[in-house]
Amino acid sequence: MLSTGPRGTKDILPDVSGYWQYVENEARNICSLYGYREIRTPVFEHTELFLRGIGETTDIVEKEMYTFKDRGERSITLRPENTAAVVRAYLEHKLYADTPPAKLFYIGPMFRYDRPQAGRYRQFHQFGIEAIGSKGPAIDAEIILLATQFLKKLGLDDLVLQINSVGCPECRPKYRVVLQDFLRDKLTNFCKDCQSRFDRNPMRILDCKNEKCGALSQGAPQMSDCLCEECDTHFNHLKELLTAANIDFTINPRLVRGLDYYTKTAFEIQYAPLGAQSAVCGGGRYDGLISECGGQPTPAIGFAIGMERVLLALEKQQLLPSIGHHMNVFVMPIGTQAQALAFKLLCNIRQAGHTADMDFMERSLKAQMKLANKYSAKFAVIIGDDEVATGKVLLKDMKTGEQQHIMVEELLNKLDAEVEE
């Protein structure tokens, strides 16, 4: 018998699942305010979708995907991110026929063969937004505001928003040339990953987490110096909109994001108290992805927030709410004759809309009282042989200790009144 789960996975146990529900509910609430609707895609897709959508030169495709052959010899991949899958669904189900933009959100597990560390697992969960159909910077500002408002609603105030423009197919080739010219003489000193990126996607070198590579690329030309007029106007307008919304930001010219499909706006939200791994949200515009996946050229932008990283931040800052196993009523049968009546009353109490449970282990009355207190039950309904014989039950207020005998048929009305009060 296996005693541990696969490396890089984590069980979400009942004692903490309530925290996940709390964060997920806040995500759904903010999406409702902004008019975003939920989409749920399969956890696996055809591998080609990610090869085309994410980019073959990314670390995700080269090193981190869980890919296998199914029984039909088709190459299948557990989704390492959800944007490509949402785009596939958008095209397959003709969501573009609705009034644009399509405003979608998702919450679910992703899979990457990565080195496990605090807040990062091989099966991890993301809350993400995709807005498809609008090319103007106002939608960029909206989703940045949504992400910021969501994190602040959870209590995370020490947020740092970094933004950049990564250009477009018109201006990026110019930047590619000047960046390669800057890097060429130093190339042999970079890591092997960066050396392989030099010809395929030199911008990714700026994103390398190797400290030596970071030092070697210091002073590299900035994309802002090579932006075409359209990209420059778009980025300047975005900054104006964020300023109008009182959203503080810093411009990080080295922020290029790790996926090939990004164009124009790229952004990241960091939570400083997390330390070195401080990023909790990342996103940007991907105007070329939909045509790459077989659709008509369509502008789009999105972000993803790591749920594990957010929960880790909330735990470190003691911002998680008090969540326990609470109920209104605990039914306590004393003796075998009381079991049938106790179970009948339990069913009736639940059907009336009250949270309720009972002892299924034939514990003593003292042990059942301890269990009721553990569950923070408001009332106990005690049923023994005398109660069965008289058609009454003993109702006890667990907070005040007051108790009274009442007729079985009056129990529900009494509970309704007491719980409401």
Strand ranges inside 156-295, DSSP E: 159-165, 250-251, 263-271, 279-285
C-beta of residue 119 within 8 angstroms of C-beta of residue 76: no
Please give the single-letter amino acid code of residue 391.
G
Tell which CATH classification among 3.40.50.800, 3.40.50.1820, 1.10.540.10, 3.80.10.10 matches the domain 329-420: 3.40.50.800
Digit-coded pLDDT (tens) for 52-85: 877 766 778 878 999 999 999 999 999 999 999 9
C-beta of residue 359 within 8 angstroms of C-beta of residue 368: yes
What class does CATH assign to 14-171+227-316?
Answer: alpha beta
Give the residue from 149, 158, 120, 159 showing the smallest Cα distance to 277: 120
Assigned token pair, 58:
């990314």
Residues across the chain? 421
Confidence (pLDDT) at 272: 86
Q: What percentage of the chain's residues is helix, strand, coil (to nearest 5)?
A: 45, 20, 35
Question: How far apart are the C-alpha atoms of 90 and 290, rounded to whole Å?
Answer: 9
Confidence (pLDDT) at 328: 94
Domain ranges in the chain with CATH number 3.30.930.10 = 14-171+227-316
C-beta of residue 115 within 8 angstroms of C-beta of residue 121: no
Question: How far apart are the C-alpha atoms of 268 and 253, rounded to whole Å?
Answer: 12
Give the residue from 117, 143, 113 showing the smallest Cα distance to 128: 143
Low-confidence ranges of the chain (pLDDT < 50): none
Q: Which residues contact 82 (CB under 8 A, 6 or more apart)?
A: 41, 106, 108, 110, 126, 128, 304
Question: How far apart are the C-alpha atoms of 93 and 185, rounded to whole Å?
Answer: 49
C-beta of residue 104 within 8 angstroms of C-beta of residue 130: yes
Domain ranges in the chain with CATH number 3.40.50.800 = 329-420
Question: How far apart are the C-alpha atoms of 180 and 255, rounded to whole Å?
Answer: 17
pTM, 2 dp? 0.89
Q: Tokens 């209590």 correspond to what residue?
A: 155
Please give the DSSP secondary-structure letter assigned to residue 117: B
C-alpha neighbours within 13 Å on the C-beta side of residue 371: 18
Give Dmax (Cα) for the chain.
95
Confidence (pLDDT) at 14: 92
Give the residue from 24, 34, 161, 37 showing the smallest Cα distance to 90: 37
Confidence (pLDDT) at 200: 82
What is the three-class DSSP state of 47?
A: helix
Confidence (pLDDT) at 141: 98
